[in-house]
Structure formats: structure tokens, C-alpha cells
Chains A and B, each alone.
Chain A
Amino acid sequence: MPNIKIASQSLDFHYGAFQALHQVDLNFEEHQVTALIGPSGCGKSTYLRCINRMNDLIPGARVDGRLTLDGEDIYAPGVDVVELRRRIGMVFQKPNPFPKTIYENVAYGLRVNGVKDKRVLDQSVESSLRGAALRDEVKDRLESSALGLSGGQQQRLCIARALAVRPEVLLMDEPASALDPIATQKIEDLIHELKRDLTIIIVTHSMQQAARVSDRTAFFYLGKLIEEGDTRTIFTRPRNKQTEDYITGRFG
């Protein structure tokens, strides 16, 4: 039996009076890549942000239902949100490196968590950059500013920064939408590599990208989960007419 890493049951989400998610039931298996697809405003990014409680920061936001990580309620009272976000890392649409050196960007999370040992930091920065397929490109300029990297390199640096705190889950919100095709390809190759150690959930507007990188695909529309299944099936013979219309570009 595959291990369910994250599960949501009857998940509702409100922005004040507006209900953005309706009764979402969805499981994410360990070491699988799941793509969340759907037209703008369908709730896929909102859903993604529920998983590491990024929506907590929005005034008037309210979550109902159940969302678990390894069977434990993410929204239970007393959950350490900082620790939760260490276990569930996130990469955003636009690369957002800190205005610091490449080394310090990757070491940042470790320092925040109290790691001071230079040897431990060096090893972690090295392995995280390697894990993000960036080490060979930056190994001779670790003390240079991260802002001097290309967009694709900056995004992989952000992935390295997320990997440094050894997360179990990586949430990716359109991680390649601001990148050129070569940089996109590198991110997609990286996703294939990372799933050996991580569970990955990716929001993407590119049907081709969802088809290329994911094992499973979930289609959202108007805040509801319309269909979820094996990516090969979703993109060749979806069961639901709305899913088919969306992935064939008939509406959006």
C-alpha cells in the first residue's frame, strides 16, 4: 500500500465571506509528483497554500475540514508552524533570493534553526546546491551575490534553500512560469530527481508541464476538485467532460 503523505478531507477555505475551496478530498502519496491544474481563480494555489498554512497570514481566512501530514492534523492547536514549514518547503512563481551571497541564501534556514557549526553549514550548502543541480555552476562563486544569477539559477537556488532544511514535502507554485525553456527543462529534470526523497505538489498553468513532470494530476474548477487520477489517464482519457474541455483548451 502506498504511504499517504498528505491528505485533505472535506476541506473548505474562506477569504472572509468568499468561499474559495469546497469540500476538497485529496490524497498525496509519498514520493509522487502531483500536479494541480485549473483555470485562474479555481483555488489550486489557495489549496497549495493551505498545506503549509501560508494562508494563516491573510486576514479573514478560515479553514474547515481536515488536512493531515503523516496522519497528523496540520491545523491542530499547538502545531509549530515554523517546524511545519520546515517539513513542507515552498518554491514560488518568481525566484525570490535574499540580497545576500549564494552561500548565505542556502545557509539561511539552517542559521534560523540555530545551526552555527561551519562544517555542518558547508556540508549542507554543498549537498543542497548539488540536490538542486546548481553546484557545478556556482561552486567557484559562493560568496557572490545571489542577485547576479540568471532567473533559472535563482529559482534553483531557491529550491536549494528549501532543500537545506531537509523538507519532506515540496510545494511548487508555478516554479517555471517566469523561466525560459532551457531553465524550465532544468527545473523539470530536477523535479524527477527530487521525488526520490520528497513528495512534490506543483501548481502549473502549463498542461504540457503537468503531463511531463507529474505522476498524478488533480483538476480544480470554481473551488472544487473536479477530477484526480493517474496523469497518463487524465491526459489521454479523462472521465469528466469539464476536465477534458480544460485540458484540450476548450475553456479556461
Chain B
Amino acid sequence: MQQRIHFTQKLDELRMQLIRMAALTEKAVHDATRAYLENDTDLAESVVMNDAAVNDMEDAIDTFNLELLALDQPMAKDLRLIIGSMRLTVNLERIGDECVNLAHRTLFLSTRPPLPANARMERLCAHVQDMLTKAVRAFVDEDTVLAGEICAMDHTADELSLKVLKEAISTMVEETRIVERSVHVIMASRHLERIGDLATNLAEAVIFIKEGQNVKHRCKG
């Protein structure tokens, strides 16, 4: 017989809040990368504006979790969901911050002559978006196999970011006029690479919630 119906409903509500926060963050990554690649300043400004909603959701979920811990004394998988959700929200909030940083790069670069299209940055944008989407799906479906794949994808994000850095350095050596813009491109690639790291943290939290295994610092590609 199913018991603790009220508590189970609260856990379902927690999952729903996490999915809502993840959806907002996914939109932020989608918009920030598109704004960067298409030099869309309106979209970049909207990313900066919308970050407050992600922060508010983090606060709301923190409060909700605190009450669940204090009032319901969860155990085992319920406890792991709550501890894991705290990890998820911290990392989702940081992804939101990296999106804001990326939007600021876009806004700065829009005030300068455009640089040639950068295929590696396009790949990096698509790659970290894919990582985040899969991390969210792994949480929703409690799919630890998919979560493990995300850990392996982080290596590619790191490599792409490094290649962007090396290319930018060699371009700057040849043409000093673009140094300022190239530095911002390097920083943009760093923001994207960080989003990849944070998506990996999300995947690690999914594995912790489902299996109780702490794979932090071990789950790398």
C-alpha cells in the first residue's frame, strides 16, 4: 500500500520545480549561444535580463529543500533526491551566470567590426547545448547510462575550447588589430567550456540520485 502520500507529492513538486529551472537554463544556453553566433544584441540583452528568474528558482528550491529536510526527515533515495537537487540547482544557477557572461561578450563584440565566422566556436556552442539537454533528459528519465555519456562528452568540450584558444593566439600574432576582439572570443570559449563542466556536474548529480554513487571528480571523459 502506498504511504506518505503527502510527502510523495512534495517530492513530485520538487522534481517539477527542478525541471522548470532546467528548462529556463536550457533556454538561456540556447539564446546566449545563438546571440553570440548571430551577433544578436537584443537576444543577448534578454539573456542578461532573464537570469534573475533562474536565480529566483534556485532560492525557491533551496527553501523547499530546507523544509523537506526539517519536516519530513527523508531517508535513502528521498534523501539523495534532495541532496542531489541541491547540487543540480547550484550548477544550473552557475550555467545561467555563464550565459550572462557569454551575452556580455556578445554585447561587447557587437560594438567592434565582426570577426570571420569561427567553425570551432559553432561546434563548441552546439556541443555544450547538447550536453545540457542530455543532462536534463538523464535527470527526467533517471537514466544513468545517458548521464555517463555526458561525462565522456566533457573531454570534447575541453578540446574544442583549447583549439579556439590556440587559433586565437596565432591569429593575434599575425594581426595585432584584432587582439582585443580575440581575447573576448577566448573568454567566450571559456564560458562555453565551463557550461560543459557544469553540465557534467549535473550528470554526476543524476548518478548520485539514482544509484547513491558519488562519482564527483571521477566522472570525466
How far apart are the CA atoms of A244 and B4 in the complex, in Å? 13
Interface segment, one of B69-77, B137-145, B153-161: B69-77
Does A235 lie within 8 Å of B75, measured CB to CB? yes
A194 interface residue per 8 A CB criterion: no
Which one of A235, A237, A252 contacts B3 once the chains associate, using CB atoms below 8 Å?
A252
Q: A231 → chain B, closest Cβ, in Å?
A: 11
Which one of A211, A236, A250 contacts B80 once the chains associate, using CB atoms below 8 Å?
A236
B51 interface residue per 8 A CB criterion: no
Does A248 lie within 8 Å of B74, measured CB to CB? yes
Does B76 lie within 8 Å of A208, measured CB to CB? no
The contact size tier of chain A is 10 to 19
Contacts of A207 in B (CB 8 A): 73, 75
The contact size tier of chain B is 10 to 19
Mark contacts of B1-12 with chain A using CB atoms, 8 A cut-off: 1 yes-contact digit, 0 otherwise: 111100100000
Mark contacts of B73-98 with chain A using CB atoms, 8 A cut-off: 1 yes-contact digit, 0 otherwise: 11111111000000000000000000
How far apart are the CA atoms of A181 and B54 in the complex, in Å? 40
Contacts of B4 in A (CB 8 A): 248-250
Which one of B1, B2, B7, B76 contacts A235 once the chains associate, using CB atoms below 8 Å?
B76
How far apart are the CA atoms of A231 and B4 in the complex, in Å? 22
Contacts of A235 in B (CB 8 A): 75-76, 79
Contacts A249-B4, A250-B2, A251-B1 given; indicate if A237 touches B73 (C-beta within 8 A): no
B211 interface residue per 8 A CB criterion: yes
Residue of B nearest to A252 (CB): B3
Which one of B7, B80, B211, B212 contacts A249 once the chains associate, using CB atoms below 8 Å?
B7
Residue of B nearest to A247 (CB): B75
Q: A208 → chain B, closest Cβ, in Å?
A: 6
How far apart are the CA atoms of A61 and B76 in the complex, in Å? 37
Contacts of B73 in A (CB 8 A): 207-208
Contacts of B2 in A (CB 8 A): 250-251
Contacts A236-B80, A237-B80 given; indicate if A248 touches B212 (C-beta within 8 A): no
Does B79 lie within 8 Å of A236, measured CB to CB? yes
How far apart are the CA atoms of A238 and B211 in the complex, in Å? 10
12 pairs of residues in contact across A and B, judged by CB atoms under 8 Å: A207-B75, A211-B75, A235-B76, A235-B79, A236-B76, A244-B76, A247-B76, A248-B74, A248-B75, A249-B75, A250-B4, A252-B3
List the 4 closest pairs (A to B, CB-CB), nearest first.
A237-B212, A249-B4, A247-B75, A244-B76
Which B residues lie at the A interface, using CB under 8 A? 1-4, 7, 73-80, 211-212
Which A residues lie at the B interface, using CB under 8 A? 207-208, 211, 235-238, 244, 247-252
Given contact pairs A235-B76, A244-B76, A247-B76, a sample of 5 additional A-B residue pairs in the complex whose CB atoms are under 8 Å apart:
A236-B75, A236-B79, A248-B77, A250-B2, A251-B3
